[in-house]
Chains A and B, each alone.
Chain A
Amino acid sequence: MSIPLSWYLILSAALFSIGLFGVLARKNAVAILLGIELMLNAVNINLVAFWRYGTGSIAGQVFAIIVFAVAAAEVAVGLALIISVYRRRSTVIADDLDLLKW
């Protein structure tokens, strides 16, 4: 209870930036998805911190739960797509997947 809100916000901004770096700078498609997961977690920390330090509406926690569901759905479909691409092209390096058909 003696932790100011700024600590949580700075932590979530840092985690978001690290995730952004992961998405932009990695070659492997699965590694890009790992970066996206980090960004989603940063957003969730922000939401729950605002619920705690706010005026008492439960909206922060509800939004965080919806983000959990969306992240799970997105990871499932994203990984299914990556596995399907790997079956066809035998590669998941994002740089090599730049043509629709050859």
Chain B
Amino acid sequence: MTPDQIIFLLCAALIVSSALMVVTTRNLVHAALWLVAALFGVAILYGLLQAGFLALVQVVVYIGAIAILFIFAVMLTRREKRDKGPQINQNWMISALLAFLTFGGLTYILSSWDGFSKTANALPTGVDTLMVLGKALVSPDAYVLPFEVASILLLAALVGAVFIASSSKE
């Protein structure tokens, strides 16, 4: 067992257990905090995959903004301090079956692909991934168009969210 594999297994255990706690716990603020743990595990995984920039952007965007939005939304939409009653609706057995089937189906389909078990090649040395990523996001024959469309999407979401969430009296 190389150290990489040990770190991956620990990380995967953290992610899967946190995700299970997210979908089963009754207290919604706890669910949001377990989501933070799962997202942090995913950030560690990006570090393992040597995408360091993505790991930090994951922490900044997901944990620093989205998780905090979730915690605020949970606090603003609760009638009393403790959540009463079950948080799972009556379809949970079919949902669990569907989830298992999805997992099994995905694994089966992927395992019949011949690149399934390949190990990674070493990254080419001397190539700065960050520079390649930066250039790809702004060069006209690479991905500048999706980049600009994403920024317009964010602008629309910003204006829309402020408008929807503002009180309707004015």
Contact = CB atoms under 8 A, between A and B. Distances in A.
Q: Are chains A and B touching in the complex at the 8 Å CB cutoff?
A: yes
Interface of A: 1-11, 13-22, 24-28, 30-31, 33-35, 37-38, 41, 44-45, 48-49, 51-53, 56, 58-59, 61-62, 64-66, 68-77, 79-84, 86-87, 90-92, 94-95
Contacts of A66: 146-147, 150
A5 B117 CA distance: 6
Interface in B92-141: 92, 94-96, 98-100, 102-103, 106-107, 110-111, 115-122, 124, 129, 132-133, 136-137
Contacts of A19: 19, 23
Interface string B33-63: 0010011001001101111011001100110
Given A11-B15, A76-B158, A86-B77, A34 B150 contact: no
Given A2-B4, A62-B143, A68-B61, A10 B107 contact: yes
Given A30-B28, A37-B66, A62-B147, 15 more contacts: A4-B119, A5-B120, A11-B12, A15-B19, A16-B103, A17-B100, A18-B20, A20-B98, A25-B23, A25-B88, A34-B35, A79-B70, A79-B73, A80-B161, A81-B164
Contacts of A17: 99-100, 102-103, 106
Contact of B38 (A2, A33, A38): A38
A25 to B, nearest CB: 4
A80 B160 contact: yes
A41 B38 contact: yes
Given A24-B95, A62-B143, A18 B110 contact: no
A21 B118 contact: no
Q: Give the top 9 A-B pairs by smallest Cβ distance, nearest first.
A: A73-B157, A22-B23, A24-B95, A17-B103, A21-B99, A25-B95, A80-B165, A13-B106, A80-B161
B95 A76 contact: no
